[in-house]
Copies of this chain bind each other. A is one copy, B any other.
């Protein structure tokens, strides 16, 4: 089954303790598409400028991603510059040039309308809601957001949250959204806003999924997946979007939709996030094999499972 992703395609300038790159292909929709492409058919909705070449598009096409939803607009593609110091969990933004992304009005191609899964990457919440309503037949909608929307458009975000199945955000965003410093209590408050499940990404500590009572079957507890402790994180950019790609891609590849599937998806999310950060930009995500992915999934099990 296919998954539609709506979000940014960008060119990034990145520097980290491992080096630097200029103008490399990035953006939430790009990381998500590549990560999810190892599990299922991916269809992308984004906007790019004149500087987006056939070579750039081929990065998607080589992974079988449907690019008919990538709109070409006059002007430049979204550009972002960020640097990481020793604390790789936090990027310092050097510049953000929205360019054609500023007037992004996502439009779902007719051919995408039979998709059963949808991922709303981090864009303005009203646009997310519009896309969600346009794809009314989907079985499951995943959604990301960020501090900026939580503080500047809380009502619009509240409307969007009523329409999504799984929200994927980090610890800080969860506490901010719930206005509650205790994480499990914050999770309950966020679930009361609409989503059936909440995935909280803890960076190097993995992720936890909290379920609304009765959602996706029964069960008393949240579930936690690890990440692989990596000797070198070259570029943390896109880790969260790659996580979402692994998570949603795995879910879309399964016939059933239940807690056990979502738990395994949480592991696959961590796996794809851990690959993404091993090299700059999307380099590692372009060249993986399903065998490598499943071998790492196995390592994640060994990391946490008692005999």
Q: Mark A198-236, 1 if CB is under 8 A from B, else 0.
A: 000010111010000000000011111110011111000
A263 at the interface (CB under 8 A from B): yes
A184 at the interface (CB under 8 A from B): yes
Interface centre among A183, A299, A303, A304 (most CB of B within 10 A): A304
Which residues from chain B contact A306 at a C-beta distance below 8 Å? 260, 263-264, 267, 301, 305
Residue of B nearest to A200 (CB): B229
A96 part of interface (Cβ distance < 8 Å): no
Cβ-defined partner of A224 (8 Å) among B86, B87, B233, B304: B304
The chain B residue with its CB closest to the CB of A223 is: B303
Q: Is A53 an interface residue (CB 8 A)?
A: no
Chain B residue at smallest Cβ distance from A229: B184
Report the Cα distance A232→B204, complex, angstroms: 24
Assembled-state Cα–Cα distance A262/B150 (Å)? 43
Chain B hits for A61, CB < 8 A:
none
The 24 sampled A-B contact pairs (Cβ below 8 Å) are: A182-B231, A182-B233, A183-B229, A184-B229, A185-B232, A187-B229, A205-B206, A220-B299, A221-B302, A221-B303, A222-B229, A223-B302, A223-B304, A224-B226, A224-B303, A225-B304, A226-B304, A260-B306, A263-B306, A264-B306, A301-B306, A304-B305, A305-B305, A305-B306
